[in-house]
Structure 1
Amino acid sequence: MTINANAKGFSGRCLCGAVTFESSASPQVVVHCCCKDCRKSSGTGHCTHIVIPKSAFVVTGDVTFYEHRADSGNTISKGFCGTCGSPIYSTTSGYPDAVFPRASVLDDPEMVQPQMVVYASRAVSWDKLDETLPAFAEGAGG
């Protein structure tokens, strides 16, 4: 994964506005994930993650975290607004220098364009994603 810290940036916030974030870097990659954990934490068939350098990410407000071990063996830490429950971002021990904000809470969700689907083998039949995107049965590596 290549991370370019020389970029435009973006911002987002939870439903109630108690948690906000800013990135001084543009998305490095945008990924739809269909794994069970993402389905359960998003309340739908997948979630869309943005990958940025951790050093470019600033969060304001109180974030509540839930940690668990993923199928990959990595420890995933998911950050939610403690007031409204909106998922804000996650981190993983597999990529310690990266942060994965959720596209669903962007101030301008149209600024991202998903580039791939991971854990496509776990996708549910009723959640139709863009079939032209590269799809990986499991993760995309790393």
Structure 2
Amino acid sequence: MTKPYTGGCACGAIRYSVVGEPMFSNHCQCRDCQRESGTGHGSYATFPRAGVTVTGKAKTWDMTGDSGNVKTRAFCPECGVAVYMTFKAMPDIFTIRAASLDEPTRYKPQAVTYAVRAYDWDPLDSGLTKFERMPPG
């Protein structure tokens, strides 16, 4: 068994531990992720919710994605760092921000989503599979 993925916000008020390997890891270039990250993409690893433990109280805000589904973004109310996302339509998954990992080098992106919204000034690994929007389920 591999060691858990651990991480949290910058000040340590929110911490998580995840048992198991990511189901999917991606760079997302949708406009919502661009705005939240302050750059051209967000980087995420998605896990089964069953293996996740979170300590600390996150502040959350809901937004509706292109699919019409609500995603809840969670951030630290103390330092403001975005840490994770959950999805009302998929309550069994938990998505962490790759940069929130204690060991960010464990993050291995598999694909780029919403490549249709890419900017020339934010080039990503050309070897990654690119999807114009979200990949088929």
TM-score w.r.t. the length of structure 1 is 0.92
What does the per-residue CA deviation read over 1:75-125, in whole Å, with 9 as the maximum and x for residues that have no partner? 010000011111110011332210101101100000111000000001122
**Matches of 2:90 and 2:44 in 1, distance apart?**
14
Opposite residue 79 of structure 1, the aligned amino acid is A
> RMSD of aligned C-alpha atoms?
1.2
Q: Secondary structure at the residue paired with 2:130? A: coil
1:111 and 2:92 correspond: no
**Matches of 2:39 and 2:73 in 1, distance apart?**
16
Structure 2: gaps of 5 or more residues: none
Q: 1:3 maps to what in 2? A: none
Q: 1:9 maps to what in 2? A: 4
Match 2:88 to one of 60, 83, 93? 93
Contact 1:27 1:112 in 2 (8 A): no
Q: Secondary structure at the residue paired with 1:72? A: coil
Matches within 5 A, 1:1-142: 8-142=3-137
| Higher relative strand content | 2
**Matches of 1:80 and 1:46 in 2, distance apart?**
17
Structure 1 vs Structure 2: percent identity of aligned residues? 38
**Matches of 1:96 and 1:7 in 2, distance apart?**
24
**Matches of 2:55 and 2:98 in 1, distance apart?**
17
Opposite residue 60 of structure 1, the aligned amino acid is T
What does the per-residue CA deviation read over 1:36-62, in whole Å, with 9 as the maximum and x for residues that have no partner? 000111111101110101111111111
Opposite residue 43 of structure 1, the aligned amino acid is G
Aligned length: 137
User: Structure 1 residue 7: deviation in Å?
Assistant: 5.4
